[in-house]
Structure 1
């Protein structure tokens, strides 16, 4: 009986640890950083690759833990978040804070071993997410713009890890992921609007899921696609994209614009959810196409 209880306890602790650090999201972010690294790497370093994987995970995990500490009372009000470890009472704030601090230190130290600039951008990401974006969410829709900055850092972080410097190439990768986040997060804000209202969060540009919000989602979807194909014009330094790669990404982008237009037409939660799901597909496929285009061209 005690063995069963022990097993259940270990399993629940592991589940809560994954949830406080949002392991699933962290893996997606690490994938983005790895794509950036492959794009920037002139020679592959397995050590740098591993350090980036662990450093990236620590960085995102720390941000998410701080976020859940700050929002613990608001999380308890929303269906989507009320069962998180802290509001559900399965984890104390002190435990979560220890995890957050350890992950911060481990993340910055791990990224510093790669090079100081990578560590600096990692630290900026944690600071902006926890200290600026999170408090602003209950005050103004501008929070999404602020949150898009740390959200856009991982893709370019991989390039900086490979090259040790920030240039037009890293800036382009940053711009792509920065612009992409608006249709992505506004789509989430749309279908979770009522739940976010319970927590007092301002996640939509107009404050509600209306035609004006849908128009902005369309605009940012179009700008994302434009930014995504710019490297094909040879103006982004060492970051290049062949015509074939650009066409593939452009066609993928048209699908995202289609879903954005569909949301404008229907203005339903289902349409918003479809756009959100496709936006994840788009950014993932874009990163795969970029990397494949580099090595196959």
Structure 2
């Protein structure tokens, strides 16, 4: 009897934890935390592990809150799409009130954690939640420009780490912001291309022309080029204390060329398989680029 009760409790906790990961989009939140920590290492003169813990915890809370608010707002639309119909709210496993309680709790925890680092970090975190939930989310069914608006909160994490380390916003975090800002267009448009049929069921307008056509693919190429250019700008010594060595810049440039190649392939073939390859290439690029930036700084300090 005790074994059965214990098994039931464990199963209940497991399902609750699974739904929590789903409502906060844990994989996305972890990737955002990774970007923030990379930005912190780039900005910090001395590493504080307490600051890293606060940044990671606060960052996860802010992203998790944004996603929870988003799923509350879009609960009826999520029920129409295959990729989202099994989310906790449309599937009936979580009430709207519970989801809102999670979102509000995470917002408060996130703001407080980031405020302990410095007020600017908390401010940018709060701005990202506001833009994501109050501007980007409602616009998704109105206009393709929603992706442009959504790129602002999406670009904050990389620069947020620098601000957390320095309590300052200048050319350095601005450059990190611009790199991730332009990166998001090829990334999300590739994703939008893959899921266009499903998005249409929910009424979402994610592609810039509204179609999987050459004009959309061309815009993907152009934004990838801008991303690539900005990613290597620090090598020229015009971005303050944010610097990049020539070998690191060459490596970043070559990685960007690979992503650009996948963008050209999408323009040529215009199929979902090519869009998927570009999306995966974009995820690899942003992660490896940030690692190169951090490793390059550490090597320069060591030398």
- Residue of structure 2 equivalent to 1:78: 81
1:143 correspondence with 2:164: no
Shift of 1:166: 0.4
- Alignment partner for residue 235 of structure 1, among 238, 263, 282? 238
- Alignment partner for residue 263 of structure 2, among 260, 263, 269? 260
SS at match of 2:261: helix
- Residue of structure 2 equivalent to 1:206: 209
Quote the Cα distance in structure 2 between the aligned partners of 1:37 and 1:93: 35
- Residue of structure 2 equivalent to 1:117: 120
SS at match of 1:113: helix
Give CA deviations for 1:20-71 in whole Å, capped at 9, x if unaligned: 0111111100000000000000111111111101010001000000000000
Shift of 1:7: 1.8
- Residue of structure 1 equivalent to 2:166: 163
- Residue of structure 2 equivalent to 1:100: 103
Matches within 5 A, 1:1-297: 1-297=4-300
Structure 1 unpaired stretches of 5+: none
SS at match of 1:265: helix
Shift of 1:2: 2.7
Quote the Cα distance in structure 2 between the aligned partners of 1:110 and 1:80: 33
Quote the Cα distance in structure 2 between the aligned partners of 1:270 and 1:79: 19
Quote the Cα distance in structure 1 between the aligned partners of 2:18 and 2:293: 34
Quote the Cα distance in structure 1 between the aligned partners of 2:168 and 2:148: 24
TM-score scaled by structure 2?
Answer: 0.97
Shift of 1:4: 2.3
Structure 2 unpaired stretches of 5+: none
